[in-house]
């Protein structure tokens, strides 16, 4: 599969929660004023963002760029690509049809970038670890809990014993029972949750295989995991206050589920049993 490099916009959205307040001012201005930024000098952006020029340079470095000029070049290129693909973040309740198309276009970009960042060798190792696991624990806090619950349900369908819980203390208690034959899958947007870092420390001490699904590849959660899957989200393009989109993380779970379905010889037998057991409850 051809690897699609993460756009500068997606990079900014990935690291946003981990930026200092002054750096967030730059990020907000860049996201909302891309056309203006490519015509600005670093001094002009500093004035408009109410930050120092040094902060802008530091911000660019955090985005993996050489400096402000590199930022402008990348934004200009992506604006051209965005226009060609008709990707916009405009939402208007008076124009529902166009708003729906804009949401769809951005969600497609999310998924394209998420899939493109999956390395084949990494995914193969993750699948092998899950297939051979005694039990898989899904761990999450806050708004990623539904993703963990979905993963648990899907894996149990395949005959892969899996567990999660909406109560954090219960998740933590279970982590102490893990062995080297077990797998922990941690789901976090920012990858900076202290609770999940604590759980990973316990899992690593117990020699369990740890897998993380986050929006930030250099986050504390990712760095403490045996394997990591990077996701992409563009939710901040629509909302001033950053809100985690579960779509990308859900797709990662779906990808693992579908690949395991093909790779695990008895998966269809397990799925059939599951379907038969719930058939009586359907009209």
For residues 186 and 200, the answer to whether their CB atoms sit within 8 Å is yes
- pLDDT confidence of residue 85: 52
Distance, in Å, from the CA atom of 151 to the CA atom of 203, rounded to the nearest integer, reads 19
Q: Which domains does the chain have, with CATH numbers?
A: 1-85 (1.10.10.10), 120-279 (3.40.50.10490)
Exposure on the CB side of residue 68, measured as CA atoms within 13 A: 18
Q: Give residue-wise pLDDT tens across range 56-91.
A: 999 999 998 999 999 998 888 877 765 545 556 666
**Pairing between β-strand 136-139 and β-strand 209-214 as defined by DSSP bridges:** unpaired
Distance, in Å, from the CA atom of 45 to the CA atom of 52, rounded to the nearest integer, reads 9
The length of the chain in residues reads 283
Q: Give residue-wise pLDDT tens across range 227-272.
A: 999 998 765 544 555 455 688 899 999 999 999 999 888 888 888 8
- pLDDT confidence of residue 279: 77
| The three-state (H, E, C) secondary structure of 255-269, written as one string | HHHHHHHHHCCCHHH
Q: What is the pTM of this model?
A: 0.73
Show Cβ contacts of residue 54 under 8 Å, excluding neighbours closer than 6 positions. Answer: none
Q: What share of the chain is helix, strand, coil (3-state, %, to 5)?
A: 60, 5, 35
Percent over 70 (pLDDT), the chain: 89
């Amino acid at each position: 599969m051809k690897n699609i490099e993460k756009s500068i916009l997606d990079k900014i959205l990935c690291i946003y929660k981990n930026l200092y307040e002054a750096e967030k001012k730059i990020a907000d201005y860049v996201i909302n004023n891309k056309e203006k930024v490519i015509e600005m000098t670093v001094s002009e952006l500093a004035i408009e963002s109410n930050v120092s020029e040094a902060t802008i340079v530091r911000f660019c470095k955090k985005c993996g760029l050489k400096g402000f000029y590199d930022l402008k070049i990348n934004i200009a290129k992506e604006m051209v690509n965005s226009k060609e693909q008709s990707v916009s973040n405009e939402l208007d309740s008076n124009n529902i049809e166009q708003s729906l198309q804009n949401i769809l276009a951005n969600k497609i970009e999310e998924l394209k970038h998420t899939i493109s960042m999956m390395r084949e060798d990494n995914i193969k190792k993750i699948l092998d670890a899950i297939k051979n696991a005694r039990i898989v624990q899904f761990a999450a806090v806050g708004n990623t809990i539904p993703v963990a619950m979905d993963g648990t349900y899907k894996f149990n369908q395949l005959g892969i014993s899996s567990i999660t819980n909406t109560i954090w203390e219960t998740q933590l208690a279970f982590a102490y029972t893990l062995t080297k034959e077990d797998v922990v899958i941690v789901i976090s947007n920012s990858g900076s949750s202290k609770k999940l870092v604590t759980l990973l420390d316990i899992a690593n001490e117990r020699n369990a295989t740890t897998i993380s699904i986050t929006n930030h590849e250099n986050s504390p959660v990712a760095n403490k995991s045996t394997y990591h899957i990077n996701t992409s989200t563009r939710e901040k393009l629509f909302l001033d206050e950053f809100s985690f989109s579960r779509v990308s993380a859900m797709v990662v779970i779906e990808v693992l589920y579908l690949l395991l379905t093909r790779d695990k010889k008895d998966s269809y037998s397990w799925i059939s049993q599951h379907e038969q057991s719930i058939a009586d409850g359907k009209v």
